[in-house]
């Protein structure tokens, strides 16, 4: 019987255990620290404590419960076994809903309308066609490409930026760091949907923000460490950025005393843009356990060197 161990915190451990057992009653699922857990072959994780996975002597697979694996790769003692991520089309659609809400919020000037309502001011904003507005998506992966296509489908001009060249219908694509300035030039809304890696840490800083035209907006949904918060606050304060929605932070949850909560024109959301469902996570974990049992190739394996 293959044994799985659930490692980490801030996720519904009991719900995930039930979903895995409902999909595969023959598996043995235990919690980290439980007697006998150390000989588990598969670790299913979110933000595992550093060094925890090293104690699993029979480990053959580390499975993330999310799209991003940065918090697993951050473990300096991570065992050299395959690492898989979750790919959930429903999660990609959830992210597209969130980003579309943000784009429409700025495009239809709800920031201004809500401020006007607080002041009891009737002031009808001018309407601009979506086709006059350019949205740029950094990261054209399983989620980013779907977000770009969704935003384009309702008439916005969409650009996408990735590491390697892509051809995506209706989207102007840019690849590689040398194209970043031309990707940014003239954007009305910048969306960051990159994975956190050595290359992307701090990428949305002064240089990127100041390359955007004055009044541009930012929707930051990748990872907190990609956004330089001082540069964000400065760009919002002097009006270079017209508004921002930030969903991810270097330290979560954002504490109540954090000054970011009160920055004008900044909407703080609690890492809620989209999550994979327990059924999708369980289905993929079980599929990979079956593949492991048959010595087949795994699905959605991460390139540990690239970091995503």
Active-site residues, by number, are 223, 271
Q: Under the phi-then-psi rule, with left for phi > 0, alpha for psi from -120 to 50, and beta for the rest, what region is 19?
A: alpha
Angle at 267 between CA 170 and CA 203, to 5 degrees: 60
C-alpha to C-alpha distance for 37 and 131, rounded to whole angstroms: 56
Residue 287 and residue 299 in contact, taking contact as beta carbons nearer than 8 Å: yes
Q: Which stretch binds ligand NDP (CB under 6 A): 110-118, 188-196, 253-261, 279-287?
A: 188-196
Q: Considering only residues 268-307, where is the footprint of ligand NDP by CB under 6 A?
A: 271, 273-274
Q: Does 221 bind ligand NDP (CB under 6 A)?
A: yes
Which residue's CB is nearer to ligand NDP, number 32 or number 174? 174
Which residue's CB is nearer to ligand NDP, number 55 or number 71? 71
Q: Exposure pattern of 12-34 as b/e (b: 16+ CB <10 Å)?
A: ebeebbebbbebbeebebbebee
Q: Considering only residues 82-141, where is the footprint of ligand NDP by CB under 6 A?
A: 95, 139-141
Which helix (H) or strand (E) covers residue 97, if one does? helix 89-107
Task: HSE, CB side, 13 Å, CA atoms: give it for residue 45.
Answer: 30
Q: Which stretch binds ligand NDP (CB under 6 A): 37-45, 127-135, 266-274, 291-299?
A: 266-274
Q: Which stretch binds ligand NDP (CB under 6 A): 17-25, 216-224, 258-266, 283-291?
A: 216-224
- Measured in whole angstroms, how far is the alpha carbon of residue 14 from the centre of its chain? 24
* Backbone phi, psi, residue 45, to 5°: -135, 155
Within the chain, strands assigned E span 3-8, 28-31, 42-46, 61-64, 83-84, 134-138, 157-162, 171-175, 189-192, 216-220, 241-246, 266-268
Residue 219 beta carbon to ligand NDP: minimum distance, rounded to whole angstroms: 10
Which residue's CB is nearer to ligand NDP, number 32 or number 161? 161
Q: Considering only residues 4-63, where is the footprint of ligand NDP by CB under 6 A?
A: none
Which residue's CB is nearer to ligand NDP, number 56 or number 193? 193
Q: Does 144 bind ligand NDP (CB under 6 A)?
A: yes
C-alpha to C-alpha distance for 232 and 235, rounded to whole angstroms: 5
Residue 55 beta carbon to ligand NDP: minimum distance, rounded to whole angstroms: 27
Interface residue with ligand NDP, options 19, 27, 48, 68 (CB under 6 A): 68
Q: Does 174 bind ligand NDP (CB under 6 A)?
A: no
Which residue ranges make up the site for ligand NDP (CB under 6 A)? 67-68, 95, 139-144, 161-164, 193-197, 199-200, 221-223, 247-248, 271, 273-274, 308
């Amino acid at each position: 019987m293959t044994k799985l161990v659930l490692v980490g915190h801030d996720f519904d451990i009991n719900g995930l255990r039930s979903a895995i057992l409902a999909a595969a009653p023959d598996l043995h699922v235990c919690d980290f620290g439980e007697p006998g857990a150390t000989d588990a072959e598969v670790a299913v994780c979110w933000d595992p404590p550093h060094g925890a996975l090293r104690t699993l002597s029979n480990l053959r697979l580390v499975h993330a419960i999310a799209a991003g694996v940065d918090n697993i790769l951050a473990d300096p003692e991570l065992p050299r076994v395959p690492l898989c991520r979750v790919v959930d089309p429903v999660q990609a659609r959830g992210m597209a809903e969130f980003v579309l809400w943000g784009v429409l919020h700025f495009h239809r000037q709800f920031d201004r309308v809500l401020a006007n309502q607080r002041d009891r001011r009737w002031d009808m904003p001018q309407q601009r066609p979506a086709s006059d507005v350019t949205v740029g998506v950094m990261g054209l992966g399983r989620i980013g490409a779907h977000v770009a296509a969704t935003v384009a489908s309702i008439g916005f001009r969409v650009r996408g930026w990735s590491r390697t060249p892509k051809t995506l219908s209706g989207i102007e694509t840019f690849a590689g760091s040398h194209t970043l300035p031309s990707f940014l030039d003239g954007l009305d809304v910048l969306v960051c949907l990159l994975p956190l890696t050595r290359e992307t840490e701090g990428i949305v800083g002064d240089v990127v923000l100041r390359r955007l035209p004055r009044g541009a907006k930012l929707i930051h949904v990748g990872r907190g460490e990609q956004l330089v918060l001082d540069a964000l606050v400065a760009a919002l304060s002097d009006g270079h950025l017209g508004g921002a929605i930030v969903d991810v932070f270097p330290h979560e949850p954002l504490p109540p005393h954090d000054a970011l909560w009160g920055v004008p024109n900044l909407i703080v959301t609690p890492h809620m843009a989209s999550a994979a469902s327990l059924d999708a996570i369980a289905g993929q974990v079980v599929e990979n356990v079956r593949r492991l049992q048959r010595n087949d190739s795994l699905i959605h394996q991460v390139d540990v060197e690239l970091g995503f």
